[in-house]
Amino acid sequence: MIWLIIPIIVLVLLTIGAAIFAVVTKNLLYAVVSTGVISLGLSLFFFILQAPDVALTEAAIGVALTTIIFIITIRNTTQYEGDHKENKIEKGAKS
Amino acid sequence: MIKKVLVILLLAVIGFYLVDLLAQIPFGEKRDNVGDYYLQESVQSLKVANAVTGIVVNFRGFDTLGEVTVLFLAAMGLSSIMYRKKKKGDKDVRAKKPSSRILQVGVQIIFPMVVILGAYVFIHGHLTPGGGFQGGAIIATASLLMLITYRKFKVNHNTISWIESIAGVVFATLGIIGLIKGMSFLENFLPTGELNALLSGGIIAIIYVSVGFKVAAELTGVIDTVLLNNKPDSNNENN
Amino acid sequence: MNQLLTISFYGTSVALILIGLYAVLAKKNLLKIVIGLSIIDGGLHLLFVSIGYISKGTAPIFSPEVVGTNAVMVDPVPQALVLTAIVIGFAVTAVALSLVIRLYRHHNTVSIDEIKNLKW
Amino acid sequence: MVISPVHYIALPLLAAFLIPLLGKINKELVRIVPGLVLLYLSYVSVTLMTQVLQGSPIVEIIAGWSPPWGINLVFSAFSGFLVSLMTILGFLIWVYTYNFKPEESYSQTTKFYTLFMMLITGTIGIVITGDIFNLFVFMEITAISSYSLTAFYRERDGAEAAFKYVLIGSFASFFVLLAIVILYTQVGTLNMADIARKMPDVDPYIKGVILLFFFIGFGIEAEMFPLNGWAPDVYTQAPGPIAAIFSGMVVKAGVYALIRVIFTLFDVPSVLNLLLIMGLLTMVVAEVIAMRQERIKRMLAYSSIGQMGLVLVAFSIGTKDAIFAAIFLMFNHAVIKGLLFLSSTFMVYHSKGKEISEMNGLGKLMPFTAFVFSLGAMAIVGLPPFSGFWSKLYLLMAAADAQLVAVIAIVLVISVIELAYYFRVVHRIYFKERTSVVPIKTPTINAKFTLAVLALVIVVIGVYPDLISGMIEQAAKDLLDKQNYIHYVLSVR
């Protein structure tokens, strides 16, 4: 019965780690992908909490659609946070 | 730098409040609340196997009506914010070279399956986990798959607005029929059949199917609006 | 065992909320702020569902084999409300991102400092 | 079909879903349908209001489940009064905006009128619902409509104001939802009357924290001091009539939710002192900043925040006449501030920066609009012949009864400040030569009709206040009588 706690601990570390990575990383694409990972973690949490409806919603909307909309926004704006050197090159190349 | 310290301080205060509060709420303990009544009623009078669907559509159907409006307004607000007058030089912004052969064949196989899965999820909303929102979102991901893979695939905004409006009108009129029949708004006026049968739950099944269509059309419209709006041209003219 | 479960569920949701708040308040990039908003939403939904959990309860679905056995069931109300809250969170995120795109179109920058010309 | 409160929500939703289809039949229908809906709803509110004033409040259950389990709508004297005010004011503003910007493209006009109607429905929903989570959903409907409408015009920098509003609006939603979560664990139900009944046996510490979260969440919506940075930018960037709706209704719904939580759900009297301090703070800061504003819409926005502070102060005194004065203030503020926003929109229609200096000498060029604007300015300051005077008088009398001398002093000083900066504008309109070269757009016939009706209301209520004071009297009694609210909501079958 006790070994049941191991997957939960792994899940907790995965979710919080992805959240911290999403905030810290400079590359927005990585940040957006880790937002998807957080939603995945949440979906598994909901599964453990005996809430299948919410797990399905979180998987369908949180992981798939939110990540896609973020990525489309990145395509329309810059891919790197702050005035990163790639930003300059990209802006230079563009204008 | 001071800003960061201030933020950390504020977070510490909020965190302390939250932890202190949650410490007094035991986890996993049975609390007497409205949930038991819903569980008991959804079996006896609604004959709906999935109690959560029973709550979302019938007991708290007004929330779902509000919910569908929120999504409708988000789609409308999004396209009004992203609105750009159509100019001649508008080229299709999607990838220039067509996607790889493997992806195209793969999508041909996956697309119908995902659409069927989505349809299954929202048709069996009142029996198995899932429902209108989940099924609609799954179908939206399927259409997204097509949008990304095939450049020729165009989402027809006319049909989307037709599906959206018809599904919304079906939901609202089902509610108003309850009102016309003298009962209250959104009341279940159809016979509810027996538990775990496909046609059980009266208007709940019909409402959730219309919500499924509406959410599928809306999310496809949202994704299409955001995906196909033009990347600012090189001279970055703003309209 | 139960203590550990409490910490893991409540702890994760509080951690997510705080990380999200930090991203919104301390980060300069508009996209990071919107990511922070969606993390806060996620943490809050996790908290909402985990208060409805009843230990050794099953999902509130009356599949044929569960009907007669009056098994202990998890409280369905938070699940129904979180379903609505997730879709609302998605709608607000979509609107916020469309505003970010329009801001980038006007000002060709995604950092909140350069745009903040609307003073107090 | 018998007239019942659910028409306020069901009909606009049906119309909103139908508008894109109707637009395909005839393009003009898109503009007409919201007006018809609001006209019918005004008729509904008149009939329901007469019923409520004689008989007992109307409680309607949804989906056949009685209150603690199902969602119910409450059309009592207090909520009914606000809903009637919103529908009639909404109809008048619709008349004003009939073809406000004719050159807008068809697809944008469809979206404008749908969002316009749903904004009003959202605020009505907040006021009329009897369920706490339903209130959160309607708050989101209002929020999303106002985000999109703030960023509606592309040439203005609406996107900045809208993004700031999204940010702070999401904070408000976060705190409200968090409060609902913790409340659900303690009370186990979502129906407001049921919560009010079970509130006494909730642990006082947790009750305090929940109330604090609600206070912050709804405080943002009601433009309380620390977190109302979003309001001036949103009012400035939003289209003219939408700014009138924001100040007239959206903020009222925020204040209503805050007051409903404080007076009906919770029984914590100490929160009234906090409300008093925050109200005074909001009022003083907003009015002082309003004095230094150079642009007319920002000035009106700050003055609107100041007036909301005054309303919160009136509510926080807590006695029956103070509540009476507060509701009267809300009525006056909605009508007069609506008039000011609507008339000033046409005065600075084509100007880019909407500077006050561009309003010089308009007295001769736009006589009707200038007259109506100055009438509104005098009314809001509280000069005798107009309705604003009575509400301030009742407030001062209520504060005097409660021996709050400091409050009286501050309110009087603030009134003098208001007098100063409003007369600075009126002086410019009549006694300064026209300097700016911006072309003038005189209001269309339907806009003039709305301005005339609003001005008429101010004067008539000013001369003969007990036209509506009876109604407000019952509304005040209904708000304060918590046990009666619990009884008539929970006893409906």
Domain that holds residue C35: 2-118
Separation CA D393–CA D384 (nearest Å): 10
Q: Which is nearest to D241 in space by CA: D32, D13, D446?
A: D446
In which element (H, E) is residue D58 found?
A: strand D58-61
Q: What are phi and psi of D131, to 5 degrees?
A: -130, 135
* pLDDT tier at D126, thresholds 50, 70, 90: very high
Give one DSSP letter per residue of C42-105, joined into a string. Answer: HHHHHHHHHTT--TTPBPSB--TTTSTT---B--HHHHHHHHHHHHHHHHHHHHHHHHHHHHHH
For position D188, what pLDDT does the model report?
A: 86
Confidence check: pLDDT of D202 > 90? no
Between B and C, how many residue pairs show a Cβ–Cβ distance under 8 A?
A: 142
- Average pLDDT score, chain D: 88
Query: In terms of DSSP bridges, do strands D58-61 and D72-75 run parallel, antiparallel, or are they unpaired?
Result: antiparallel
**B238 vs C106: CB contact, 8 Å cut-off?**
yes
Residue with tokens 């937002």: A35
* pLDDT tier at A5, thresholds 50, 70, 90: confident
Residue of C33, C53, C88 for testing the chain D interface, max D β-carbons within 10 Å: C88
**Residues across chain D:** 493
Q: What percent of chain B has pLDDT over 90?
A: 21
For position D468, what pLDDT does the model report?
A: 86
Confidence check: pLDDT of D439 > 80? no
For position A92, what pLDDT does the model report?
A: 47
In terms of pLDDT, which residue wins out, B120 or D360?
B120
Q: Which residue of D has its CA nearest to B214?
A: D17
Please name the member of A65, A73, A76 whose beta carbon is closest to the beta carbon of B219.
A65
Q: How many beta carbons lie within 10 A of that of residue B175, not counting itself?
A: 25
* pLDDT tier at D359, thresholds 50, 70, 90: confident
The 10 Å CB-count burial string (b at 16+, else e) for D207-244 is bebbbbbbbbbbbbbbbbbebbbbbbbbbbbbbbbbbb
Between B and D, how many residue pairs show a Cβ–Cβ distance under 8 A?
A: 159
Q: Dig out the tokens for C83 from the structure.
A: 């379903």
Highest mean pLDDT among A30-44, D147-161, D224-238, D431-445: A30-44
Q: What percent of chain D has pLDDT over 70?
A: 100
* pLDDT tier at D67, thresholds 50, 70, 90: confident
* pLDDT tier at A59, thresholds 50, 70, 90: very high
What's the pLDDT tens digit per position in D252-269? Answer: 999 999 999 999 888 888
Q: What percent of chain D has pLDDT over 90?
A: 37
**B236 vs A61: CB contact, 8 Å cut-off?**
no
- Rounded to an integer, the average pLDDT of D165-191 is 92
Confidence check: pLDDT of B233 > 50? no
For position D138, what pLDDT does the model report?
A: 95
Chain C residues 34-53 within an 8 A CB cutoff of chain B: 47, 50-53
Residue with tokens 């084999």: C65
**D133 vs B60: CB contact, 8 Å cut-off?**
yes
Residue at D299: amino acid letter: M
Question: Which chain C residues are closer than 8 Å to B66 by Cβ?
Answer: 84
Gyration radius from chain A CA atoms: 17
In terms of pLDDT, which residue wins out, C92 or D156?
C92
**A12 vs C35: CB contact, 8 Å cut-off?**
no
Q: Which is nearest to D167 in space by CA: D246, D253, D227, D119?
A: D227
What's the pLDDT tens digit per position in D209-242? Answer: 999 999 999 999 888 887 778 888 888 888 888 9
Q: Which is nearest to D436 in space by CA: D353, D323, D328?
A: D353
Q: C15 in contact with A at a CB cutoff of 8 Å?
A: yes
Question: Which chain A residues are closer than 8 Å to C99 by Cβ?
Answer: none
For position B51, what pLDDT does the model report?
A: 87
Question: Which chain C residues are closer than 8 Å to B43 by Cβ?
Answer: 62, 67
Residue of D131, D173, D237 for testing the chain C interface, max C β-carbons within 10 Å: D173
Confidence check: pLDDT of B159 > 90? no
For position C114, what pLDDT does the model report?
A: 66
Using CA atoms, how far residue C53 sits from A10, B206, D401, in Å, is: 20, 30, 51
What's the pLDDT tens digit per position in B185-220? Answer: 888 877 777 777 777 777 888 888 999 999 999 999
Mean pLDDT check: name the lowest of C112-116, D149-153, D331-335: C112-116
Confidence check: pLDDT of A85 > 70? no
- What's the 3-state SS for chain B? CHHHHHHHHHHHHHHHHHHHHHHCCCCCCCCCCCHHHHHHHHHHCCCCCEHHHHHHHHHCHHHHHHHHHHHHHHHHHHHHHCCCCCCCCCCCCCCCCCCCHHHHHHHHHHHHHHHHHHHHHHHCCCCCCCCHHHHHHHHHHHHHHHHHHCCCCCCCHHHHHHHHHHHHHHHHHHHHHHHHCCCCCCCCCCCCCCCCCCCCCCHHHHHHHHHHHHHHHHHHHHHHHHHHCCCCCCCCCCC
For position C35, what pLDDT does the model report?
A: 94
For residue C23, give the CATH number of its domain: 1.10.287.3510
For position D328, what pLDDT does the model report?
A: 92
* pLDDT tier at B94, thresholds 50, 70, 90: low
The alpha-carbon gap from C51 to the nearest alpha carbon of chain B, in Å, equals 6
Mean pLDDT check: name the lowest of A67-81, B87-101, B114-128: B87-101
Chain C residues 31-50 within an 8 A CB cutoff of chain A: 31-32, 34-36, 38-39, 42, 45-46, 49-50
In terms of pLDDT, which residue wins out, A91 or C41?
C41
Q: Which is nearest to D87 in space by CA: D2, D144, D27, D11?
A: D11
Chain B residues 194-233 within an 8 A CB cutoff of chain A: 219, 222-223, 226-227, 229, 231-232
In terms of pLDDT, which residue wins out, D315 or D433?
D315
The alpha-carbon gap from B1 to the nearest alpha carbon of chain C, in Å, equals 10
For position A83, what pLDDT does the model report?
A: 54
Mean pLDDT check: name the lowest of B153-167, D109-123, D304-318: B153-167
Question: Which chain C residues are closer than 8 Å to B81 by Cβ?
Answer: 95, 98-99, 102
Q: Note whether D308 and D434 are within 8 A (CB).
A: no
CA C55 to chain centre: 23
Q: Note whether D479 and D80 are within 8 A (CB).
A: no
Q: D173 in contact with B at a CB cutoff of 8 Å?
A: no
Confidence check: pLDDT of B149 > 80? yes
Residue of B14, B19, B34, B215 for testing the chain D interface, max D β-carbons within 10 Å: B34
For position B92, what pLDDT does the model report?
A: 58
For chain D, the structural domain boundaries read: 7-490
Q: List Cβ neighbours of D484 (8 Å cut-off, separation of 6 or more).
A: D478
- Touch test D–C: 3 Cβ pairs or more under 8 Å: yes
In which element (H, E) is residue D75 found?
A: strand D72-75
Separation CA D374–CA D423 (nearest Å): 8
Question: Which chain B residues are closer than 8 Å to C92 by Cβ?
Answer: 74
For position D346, what pLDDT does the model report?
A: 83
Burial of B87 (0-12, 13-18, 19+ CB in 10 A): exposed
What's the pLDDT tens digit per position in D282-315? Answer: 999 999 888 888 888 889 999 999 999 999 999 9
For position B89, what pLDDT does the model report?
A: 54
The alpha-carbon gap from B218 to the nearest alpha carbon of chain D, in Å, equals 12
Q: Note whether D343 and D377 are within 8 A (CB).
A: no
Angle CA(B76)–CA(C87)–CA(D115) in degrees, nearest 5?
25
Confidence check: pLDDT of A84 > 60? no
In terms of pLDDT, which residue wins out, D432 or C82?
C82
Burial of D246 (0-12, 13-18, 19+ CB in 10 A): buried
Q: C92 in contact with A at a CB cutoff of 8 Å?
A: no
Residue of B86, B185, B225 for testing the chain D interface, max D β-carbons within 10 Å: B185
Confidence check: pLDDT of D143 > 90? yes
Separation CA D181–CA D274 (nearest Å): 23
Q: Note whether D342 and D451 are within 8 A (CB).
A: yes
Separation CA B196–CA B192 (nearest Å): 11
Q: C109 in contact with B at a CB cutoff of 8 Å?
A: no
Q: What is the ipTM of this complex?
A: 0.91
For position C94, what pLDDT does the model report?
A: 93
Residue of A20, A24, A56 for testing the chain B interface, max B β-carbons within 10 Å: A56
Gyration radius from chain B CA atoms: 23
Chain D residues 57-116 within an 8 A CB cutoff of chain B: 60-65, 68-71, 105, 107-108, 111-112, 114-115
For position C116, what pLDDT does the model report?
A: 61
Separation CA B60–CA B53 (nearest Å): 10
Confidence check: pLDDT of D464 > 70? yes
- Touch test A–D: 3 Cβ pairs or more under 8 Å: no
Show which subunits contact A, needing at least 3 CB pairs below 8 angstroms. Answer: B, C
- According to DSSP, the residues that pair with B50 across neighbouring strands are C61
Q: Note whether C49 and A51 are within 8 A (CB).
A: yes
Confidence check: pLDDT of C120 > 60? no
Question: Which chain C residues are closer than 8 Å to D167 by Cβ?
Answer: 24, 33, 37
Q: Dig out the tokens for B86 from the structure.
A: 């159509």
- Rounded to an integer, the average pLDDT of B143-149 is 86
- Touch test C–A: 3 Cβ pairs or more under 8 Å: yes
Question: Which chain D residues are closer than 8 Å to C24 by Cβ?
Answer: 167
For position B237, what pLDDT does the model report?
A: 37
Q: Note whether D148 and C92 are within 8 A (CB).
A: no
Separation CA D110–CA C14 (nearest Å): 42
Using CA atoms, how far residue C88 sits from A22, B63, B121, C85, in Å, is: 22, 11, 20, 5
Q: Which residue of B has its CA nearest to D113?
A: B76
Indicate left, alpha or beta for A82 from its phi (over 0: left) and psi (-120 to 50: alpha). Answer: left
Residue of D65, D170, D171 for testing the chain C interface, max C β-carbons within 10 Å: D170
For position C117, what pLDDT does the model report?
A: 55
Highest mean pLDDT among A50-59, D222-231, D360-369: A50-59
